Chains A and B, each alone.
Chain A
Amino acid sequence: MTPDDIRKAFLEELVSIAPDIDPDTLEGDEHLQDDLELDSMDILNLVTALHKRLGVSIAEEDYPRIETPDKAVAYLAQRLGG
């Protein structure tokens, strides 16, 4: 997967969990919890959805590494060996 594919997949899952987010105005450095107002249940659901979609299981201690879209894409790319 290219980073663009990963970003697309991440954003789709993010917006599916939090449909109040407008992907067109979303900035890559926005913090999922502080700026986009996801709560901890949303994060758990996002992690589950990403696992299902990309086959990457994200351990609790790695949650800070997906705290913004940019960080998440970099992290997922690394995990996918891309």
Chain B
Amino acid sequence: MTWATIRKDAATRARAVLPDPDATRAGFDWDEARAMLDGMPDGALNIAHEAVDRHVAAGHGGQVAMRWMGKSGERRDFSYADLAEATARFANVLKAQGLERGDRVYGLMGREPELYIAALGTLKAGMTFSPLFSAFGPEPIRTRMEIAEANVLVTTAGLYRRKIADWAAEIPSLKCVLVVGDEAPEGCVALGPAMAAADPRFDVVHTAPEETALIHFTSGTTGRPKGAVHVHGAVVNHAMTGRYALELVPGTKFWCTADPGWVTGTSYGIIAPLVHRCTMIVDEAEFDLDRWYTILQDEKVEVWYTAPTAIRMMMRAGKAAAEPYDFGNLRFMASVGEPLNPEAVVWGNEVFGQPFHDNWWQTETGGIMIANTLAMDIKPGSMGKPLPGISAGIVEREDGTLRELKPGEIGELALRPGWPSMMRAYLHEEARYQKAFVDGWYLSGDLAMCDEDGYFWFVGRADDLIKTSGHLIGPFEVESALIEHEAVAEAAVIGIPDETAGEVVKAYVALNPGFEPSEELEKSIRGHARKKLGPAVAPREVVFRQTLPKTRSGKIMRRLLKARELGLPEGDISTLETDEK
């Protein structure tokens, strides 16, 4: 079925930051975005300065920067002055531990205030911050700490004991583990007393725009996860997109529900709102229907950036659950993480009196690239149009070059390189980085099409990566953990459609001699995977096969398993050597 376009009225267009997006796009220069920032003397640029200190210097130190809501109902406000002081103390703690500019600081914890302070304090100190998702199991954590040679880990005592303590000593680069609170496990430093003893003043390091600020990990189809390197200059894009795609202006009450363990939660859950001097809401708890509606109402949230999985959970509860609440302060709602289905866009329009505005970007792009902005008519199911400064196309590979496709044709979504928040490297993986750029385009790995009106539509992944609850999961990482189970000889992992999560991870395993399929064994394998990988990454279902379909070169054909799972045509199976049984 086709969905009716949601038209924006003149009043909505008039109040939009970009009343005429096409015109702004046509005349756009990145200097417009640079003008939203202050910069530092000698051409230096530091994200933490733009996000925090410059606002204090301009006399806004008393404004609430972060309203933190704890799991058990606590509430703590941090003014810009509070954040400036706390991040200065954190930077001094790092220095006191002997760390230097360029060192790598990893964050592993839930949405606690210290995570935000650590991220910004690290940037202040000219060091690189790398966030890890706290629900990861020990294995994904360790792999990521090894790849980018972690020098510091900031975490909680509980996470440290459960996931890190057993192997921390085996990471040669790791100099120090900072633990939130007043007491620390053996070998760690308690952050509470260290912060209290630290100087509350710190001169923000004058980082160059091309100096590394953040490393965000993303999954690959084969091999280890990739560490996408982002620089301080990325803040130019965070400023542009925060303003144009999310309608952030000084004082906006903004709630980004994403966890800073993923790129959205850093770019838009920390950097963009603070750069625009917003008041950001941080909820420590996981999704909870009444809690979320209460926050939207009581905190008078004006701009809300959330994800399809959460929206679909709200839909499951029905419109009636939302009725008692007043969402009168909401003026813009956006969604990211995976394509937002048209039903959800329309549902938002009915329940909140406005549609969710879907947008598209990736870890590699550092910030929003394609978006439905406030003034645009919405075609439900479309990711929108390229933002000012962003040039996107649909391309097809042809003998080492790329051919741009016509409207309506499906191909790979590609971007012209050069936007400020583009990744500068996959750390230590130059070949994989170069592979992402062909013939003057950055290739996203997403299949999409562009319609006659210039709206882009997501079609699927061009590779075997799995998108579950907005998280990109590499099958290889899951398969590697599965075959560590004594019973598993081979494993193949695919994503199967799920109405709430988009996709869920399903594993096919072949057993070693001496093991027989059973319900108990299935649980044992899944339990093993959850312990190693964490619930977000581990398969939700494991099925047994005698053999898995393989090519002559021994590569498991995940694509074939998926086609069969979905009842789709099997495509080219000329390279199939061993079929599944």
Contacts and interface: CB of A to CB of B under 8 A. Distances in A.
Contact of B540 (A41, A61, A63): A41
Given A39-B286, A41-B540, A60-B317, A19 B500 contact: no
A45 B531 CA distance: 18
A15 B526 CA distance: 11
Interface residues of A, number: 21
A18 interface: yes
Given A34-B71, A39-B135, 8 more contacts: A15-B523, A19-B527, A20-B527, A39-B286, A40-B287, A41-B540, A44-B313, A61-B321
Nearest to B162: A37
Interface of B: 71, 135, 286-290, 309, 313, 316-317, 321, 468-469, 500-501, 504, 523-524, 526-528, 530-531, 534-536, 540
Contact of B535 (A16, A37, A59, A64): A37
Contacts of B317: 59-61
A58 B469 CA distance: 22
Interface of A: 15-16, 18-21, 33-34, 37-42, 44-45, 59-61, 63-64
B135 A41 contact: no
Given A19-B530, A45-B540, A60-B317, A40 B523 contact: no
A60 B321 CA distance: 9
Given A20-B531, A37-B534, A64 B288 contact: yes
**Which of A20, A21, A33, A59 has the most chain B CB atoms inside 10 A of its CB?**
A20
A33 B536 CA distance: 12
Given A59-B317, A63-B288, A41 B504 contact: yes
Contact of A61 (B71, B287, B290, B523): B290
Contacts of A37: 135, 534-535
Nearest to A64: B288
B136 to A, nearest CB: 10
22 contacts: A15-B523, A16-B523, A18-B527, A18-B535, A19-B523, A20-B531, A21-B527, A33-B286, A37-B534, A39-B135, A39-B535, A40-B469, A41-B500, A41-B535, A41-B540, A42-B535, A44-B313, A44-B500, A60-B313, A60-B316, A61-B290, A64-B288
A20 B290 contact: no
Given A39-B135, A41-B504, A18 B289 contact: no
A31 to B, nearest CB: 9
Nearest to B530: A20
A29 to B, nearest CB: 14
A45 B504 CA distance: 12
A33 to B, nearest CB: 6
Given A16-B523, A38-B535, A39-B536, A61 B289 contact: yes
A15 B530 CA distance: 12
Contacts of A16: 523
A8 B255 CA distance: 40
Nearest to A45: B540
Contacts of A45: 540
A82 B500 CA distance: 32
B392 to A, nearest CB: 31
A42 to B, nearest CB: 6
Nearest to A16: B523
B462 to A, nearest CB: 25
A37 B536 CA distance: 10
A41 B469 contact: yes
Contacts of B504: 41
A40 B289 contact: no
A60 B289 contact: yes
